[in-house]
Amino acid sequence: MSNIHNPQSAFTLHNNYKIPCLGYGTWRADEQTAFASVKIAVEMGYRHIDTAAGYKNEAGVGQAVRESGVGRENVFITSKVFNDNRGYKTTLNAFEKTLSELKTDYLDLYLIHWPASAHRFDNWEQINLDTWRAMTELYKAGRIKAIGVSNFKPHHLRALMETEVKPMVNQIEYHPGQTQEETVSFCRENNILVEAWGPLGQGRMLSNPTLAETAAKYGKSTAQLCIKWCLQNGVLPLPKSVTESRIKENSEVFDFEISAEDMKRINEMPYIGGSGNDPDTVDF
Ligand code: NAD
């Protein structure tokens, strides 16, 4: 892991590609909102944007990156193939659609948004392997710099570990009280970088008294504490806000260090709420 002193510092993926250590989330921002807020974020110094075909805002994200003027090569863009496009040919087509929405000729990172799971598909492993084969081909052709998955638990990941190119990233729900230890350990053992979606518990963490008290000790907000806690655990946070002051606040996490004692206390917190979406039971 590289140092984490500014939002452009990077983690290094197992193929040596660098990924800026603080991402900017765009879920539930429509195209116009994504355009305006991503532009603000990039102008403020964020260099890593997380979008997905399923968010229906890729065009706004692409336009913001172009109009920010910092140069496509200086912004790390992630997108994801959604569940309705799992499979080989469908993934190849979905990728072309994503590039044309973003108006770019490559992606930095492409993820399988959710695994096909046993409760919906008898041949779930084969479906994930077919999707992965398409992503591998695009990666080997240089059209994607890194490939990975999202919401994969160890049993979903295991089915991909015998393939030619192993996943470089797993983006999972991760915040205090929801640390998915088994998945995180599996990823660490296999050199897969974990990214945190919902690092603020989609806002649910922000009213927790233990977190608020701990944050106050450092003169920081609860949001900043949650973001820094991810980083100190070696997990890449993707906080989302469309409000300029909060976008700024969420990037100001490189001027303090959470003590080992406080890290331990947060790491051991019980479940205090989350999305409730389990990849093995979701109905989408
Ligand atoms: P989050 O934990 O980032 O929380 C966002 C919420 O917190 C918003 O309602 C926002 O208004 C509020 N907030 C943000 N900063 C704040 C601050 N400083 N003070 C007070 N309130 C603040 O939740 P999220 O958006 O669900 O997750 C982050 C990103 O992760 C998404 O935008 C998306 O890019 C990604 N994501 C991926 C998946 C997946 O399945 N792969 C699922 C959900 C989200």
Asked if the structure places residue 277 within a domain, the reply is no
DSSP 53: G
Q: Is the CB of 251 under 6 A from ligand 1?
A: no
Q: How many angstroms separate the alpha carbon of residue 122 from the centre of ligand 1?
A: 33
Cα–Cα distance list, 162 to 41, 71, 134, 190 (Å): 38, 37, 16, 12
Q: Could you tell me if residue 49 is inside a domain?
A: yes
Q: Which domain holds residue 127?
A: 10-267
**Which atom, in ligand 1's list, is nearest to the CA of 224?**
18
Residue among 208, 241, 282 whose CB has most ligand 1 atoms within 8 A, to mutate:
241
Looking at 17, 24, 46, 55, which residue is catalytic? 55
Answer yes or no: are the C-beta atoms of 131 and 112 closer than 8 Å: yes
Question: Is 201 part of a structural domain of the chain?
Answer: yes
Residue with CA at minimum distance from ligand 1 atom 38? 197
Cβ 50 under 6 angstroms from ligand 1: yes
**For residue 254, what are the CA distances in angstroms to 179, 221, 246, 247?**
22, 13, 15, 14
Burial label, 164 (beta-carbon count in 10 A; 0-12, 13-18, 19+): exposed
- On whether the CB atoms of residues 224 and 266 are closer than 8 A, the answer is no
Which ligand 1 atom sits closest to the C-alpha of 198? 2
Return the pLDDT at 1: 37
Examine residue 166 and state whether it is found in any structural domain, yes or no: yes
Q: Are 275 and 202 in contact (CB under 8 A)?
A: yes
Nearest CA to ligand 1 atom 36: 197
Ligand 1 nearest atom to the CA of residue 246, by list position: 18
pLDDT digits (tens, 9 = 90+) for 240-261: 999 999 999 999 999 999 999 9
Give domain status of residue 69, yes or no.
Answer: yes
- Count of domains for the chain: 1
Positions of the chain with pLDDT under 70: 1-5
DSSP-assigned letters across all residues of 162-197: TSSS--SEEEEE-BTTB--HHHHHHHHHTT-EEEEE
Above pLDDT 70, what percent of the chain? 98
Ligand 1 within 6 A of 201 CB? Answer: yes
C-beta of 199 in contact with ligand 1 (< 6 A) = yes
pTM above 0.95, yes or no: yes
Displacement of CA 154 from its chain's centroid (Å): 17
Instruction: Compute the residue count for the chain.
Output: 284
What tokens does 59 get? Answer: 């065009």
Q: Choose which residue among 226, 240, 275 to substitute to test ligand 1 binding: the one with the highest number of ligand atoms within 8 A of its C-beta.
A: 240
Q: Which atom of ligand 1 is nearest to the CA of 242?
A: 11
Nearest CA to ligand 1 atom 25: 240
Q: Which residue lies with its CA nearest to atom 17 of ligand 1?
A: 246
Active site residue 174: no
Examine residue 279 and state whether it is found in any structural domain, yes or no.
no
Give 204-230 pLDDT, tens digit per residue: 999 999 999 999 999 999 999 999 999
Question: What CATH number does the domain containing 38 carry?
Answer: 3.20.20.100
Asked whether residue 3 is assigned to any structural domain, the reply reads: no
In a domain, 19, yes or no: yes
